[in-house]
């Protein structure tokens, strides 16, 4: 099938290219789109060399599947036009996640929602995906009612520029020089700070609101109570999250472990004798989300505390998008349906 990647030169675009090859996705024609500044340059993938293209003005990407990760403004301006030309758009930006017309999908959690698409499917925020790989199976088993989440988010969540900034600042500090923030508002080397997204009147930033609203939509749990504190940390890759979760039915440690060990997309890492629990270094490059530090919440009988780490470029973005396309292909429903007027 014909595949297009919009934002092919970014961190997620590069991961998408690697995954399409790694997972033998049935590509008959691959077209790579980038900014007008990059158009005409070439990009080598394996033994193939591709010329980067600028987005066509008529909106026809000549593709059956479009993986879009060039930013929310691009998706807001063009996604539905791409779909009108017959493409299924799997969008990895925040543009359409909360739009009632657009399914918000994590295949291990709500794969069936993808079948209701009208041409555009949204990939959730990376922190939401990583949290829900652990919380969704527990929700199905015990009925999640409330969660508090603290995130420890890697700089690659801000793209290649975030990676470059951490590397450059670390080198500067080790050389005795003052770090110079560019991508971030504050120094990131040997530092951490509240997530670099706008803070609303309620005191929550955009990333924290995404976790709440997207979790409610994906789990179809509009009454779910969730409060998040999102923090940027000096880690190159893979987000981690500390979660305290409460349920309608009391949870035991043994029951939670049994559920998580059987959950798709999850790897339990919970070795108390060796103090070995999920870490971003071990989550990087993995498909699974690592879940561990499981214990009964000492402040709330019947509740659970846990810690998760997941590669936010891979499962938190590119892999989730490819899995959505794979699921629809297996269902014979990959081509986007014609939009109604």
Strand partners, 292: 307
* Pairing, β 65-68 against β 120-122: unpaired
Cα angle value 29/31/34 (rounded, 5°): 170
Average pLDDT by stretches of 10, the chain with 341 residues: 94 93 93 91 86 94 95 94 96 96 98 96 97 98 98 92 95 96 96 95 96 98 98 97 97 97 98 98 97 96 97 96 96 58 29
**Residue 230 within a domain:** yes
Tell me if residue 229 falls in helix, strand or coil.
strand
Is the domain of 114 the same as that of 176? no
51 and 21 assigned to the same domain: yes
Q: What is the CATH number of the domain that holds 57?
A: 3.40.50.720
Pair (299, 202) in one structural domain: yes
Predicted local confidence at residue 337, as pLDDT: 43
Per-residue pLDDT of 225-279, as tens digits, reads 999 999 999 999 999 999 999 999 999 999 999 999 999 999 999 999 999 999 9
Binding residues for NADP(+): 9-12, 37-38, 156-157, 312
Rounded distance between C-alpha atoms, residue 213 and residue 98, angstroms: 8
311 contacts 126 by C-beta, under 8 angstroms: no
Catalytic residue numbers, as ranges: 126, 239
Same domain as 162, residue 222: yes
Q: Confirm whether 84 is domain-assigned.
A: yes
In a domain, 337, yes or no: no
User: What pLDDT is recorded for position 335?
Assistant: 55
Beta-strand ranges (E) seen in the chain are 2-6, 29-33, 42-45, 48-51, 65-68, 88-91, 120-122, 144-153, 193-194, 225-232, 239-247, 266-268, 289-296, 304-310
Kindly report the CATH number assigned to the domain that includes residue 191. Answer: 3.30.360.10
Residue 336 covered by a domain: no
If asked whether residues 100 and 164 sit together in one domain, one would say no
pLDDT of residue 317: 96
Clarify whether residues 190 and 291 are in a common domain.
yes
Q: Are residues 65 and 119 both part of a single domain?
A: yes
Domain that holds residue 179: 127-312
Q: In terms of pTM, does the model score above 0.85?
A: yes
- In angstroms, the CA 120 to CA 92 distance is 11
Task: In whole angstroms, give the CA distance from residue 9 to residue 293.
Answer: 37
- Cβ pair 198, 185 in contact under 8 A: no
Residue 341 lies in a domain: no
8 Å CB contact between 230 and 152: no
d(CA 286, CA 280): 10
Q: Name the domain count of the chain.
A: 2
- Shared-domain flag, residues 19 and 150: no
- Note whether 47 and 87 are same-domain residues: yes
**Owner of token pair 């609303």:** 200
Residue numbering of the annotated binding site for phosphate: 97
Q: Give pLDDT, residue 36.
A: 85
């Amino acid at each position: 099938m014909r595949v297009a990647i919009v934002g092919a030169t970014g961190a997620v675009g590069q991961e998408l290219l690697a995954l399409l090859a790694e997972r033998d996705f049935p590509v008959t024609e691959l077209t790579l789109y980038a900014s007008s500044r990059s158009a005409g340059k070439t990009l080598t993938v394996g033994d193939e060399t591709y010329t980067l293209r600028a987005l066509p003005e008529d909106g026809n990407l000549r593709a059956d599947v479009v993986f879009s990760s060039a930013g929310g403004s691009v998706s807001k301006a063009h996604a539905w036009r791409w779909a009108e030309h017959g493409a299924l758009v799997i969008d990895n930006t925040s543009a359409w996640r909360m739009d009632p017309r657009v399914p918000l999908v994590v295949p291990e959690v709500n794969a069936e929602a993808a079948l209701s698409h009208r041409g555009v499917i949204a990939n959730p925020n990376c922190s939401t995906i990583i949290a829900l790989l652990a919380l969704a199976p527990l929700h199905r088993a015990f009925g999640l009612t409330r969660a508090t989440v603290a995130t420890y988010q890697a700089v690659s969540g801000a793209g290649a520029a975030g990676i470059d900034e951490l590397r450059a600042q670390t080198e500067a500090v080790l050389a005795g020089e003052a770090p110079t923030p560019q991508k971030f508002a504050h120094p990131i080397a040997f530092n951490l700070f509240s997530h670099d997204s706008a803070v609303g009147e309620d005191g929550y930033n955009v990333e924290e609101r995404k976790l709440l609203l997207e979790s409610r939509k994906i789990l179809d749990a509009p009454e779910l109570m969730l409060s998040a504190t999102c923090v940027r940390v000096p880690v190159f890759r893979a987000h981690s999250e500390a979660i305290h979760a409460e349920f309608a039915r009391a949870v035991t440690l043994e029951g939670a472990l049994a559920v998580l060990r059987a959950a798709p997309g999850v790897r339990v890492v919970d070795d108390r004798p060796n103090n070995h629990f999920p870490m971003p270094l071990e989550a990087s490059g993995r498909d699974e989300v690592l879940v561990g530090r499981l214990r009964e919440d000492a402040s709330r009988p019947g509740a659970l505390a846990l810690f998760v780490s997941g590669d936010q470029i891979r499962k938190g973005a590119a892999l989730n998008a490819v899995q959505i396309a794979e699921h629809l292909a297996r269902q014979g429903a990959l081509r986007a349906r014609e939009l109604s007027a």
